Amino acid sequence: MTARIGVVTFPGTLDDRDTQRAVRVAGAEAVPLWHKDKDLKQVDAVVLPGGFSYGDYLRAGAISRFSPVMESVIEQAKAGMPVLGICNGFQVLTETHLLPGAMLRNNHLHFICREQKLRVENAETAWTADYTAGQEIRIPLKNIDGQYTADERTLDMLEAEGRVAFRYLDGNPNGSLRDIAGITNEAGNVVGLMPHPEHAVEPLIGTGRTDGLGFFTSILKKLVNA
């Protein structure tokens, strides 16, 4: 049976179609989920894609966190369902407190859009098993609220538990503390990152590389083996 991966669309989401496509390129079935629906349509995993949900009013991801679909996503994530938050999706995951810390405006206040080098620090999460720890990948980055912050205790805890999943290489694009580009929860089923793997799954578009495909093949493998 094909794995079913839900992709949530909030008002203001813009990367839902690219994410659905990435899911299909990896060989899974992409299931569109609407922010007003509590029903997750029996998906095996959920991706919260990038964009500007609810216009990023109040704080990025703050209003989406209280949408009907997120009630179900939070409940299922706590029960172990894999959830990946990309960019705005990562912001939503910090607002839900499924992931610790918070996101601030980039330290230089500019919107940034470029190819970004990352190091995969944790290759044991549900979304990173097809990478190897220490592997360097290049995927697009585009955001203005991408500065990851948390208090020292939380940062030390993330480091000690191996929960810094990705780190920026060759320059920190937004002032994120300890060069953190992405983190995972304790169980490894919830992962958030600022750069966009869904824009680097086919050689013809984006960076011309397919470095992002591993996220979607990782989850597929995990679900098929489960």
Partner 1 sequence: MARVVVDVMLKPEILDPQGQAVQRALPRLGFQGISDVRQGKRFELEVDGPVDAAALARIHELAETFLANTVIEDFVVKVEEVQETRKAEEAAK
* Helix boundaries (H) for 43-117: 68-78, 88-95
Residue among 54 and 216 whose Cβ is closer to partner 1: 54
Distance CA 107, CA 173 (A): 9
Catalytic residue (choose from 35, 87, 95, 199): 87
Q: How far is the CB of 112 from partner 1 (least distance, A)?
A: 13
Residue among 7 and 99 whose Cβ is closer to partner 1: 99
Residue 137 · residue 212 · CB < 8 Å: yes
Residue among 65 and 119 whose Cβ is closer to partner 1: 65
Binding residues for partner 1 (CB under 8 A): 58-59, 62, 66, 94-95, 100-102, 104-109, 147, 149-150, 175
Name the packing angle between helices 16-26 and 213-225 (round to 10°).
Answer: 60
Catalytic residue (choose from 35, 95, 121, 196): 196
Q: How far is the CB of 105 from partner 1 (least distance, A)?
A: 5
Active site residue 198: yes
Active site residue 95: no
In three-state secondary structure terms, 76 is helix
Active site residue 108: no
Query: What is the CB-side half-sphere exposure of residue 111 using CA atoms within 13 A?
Result: 4
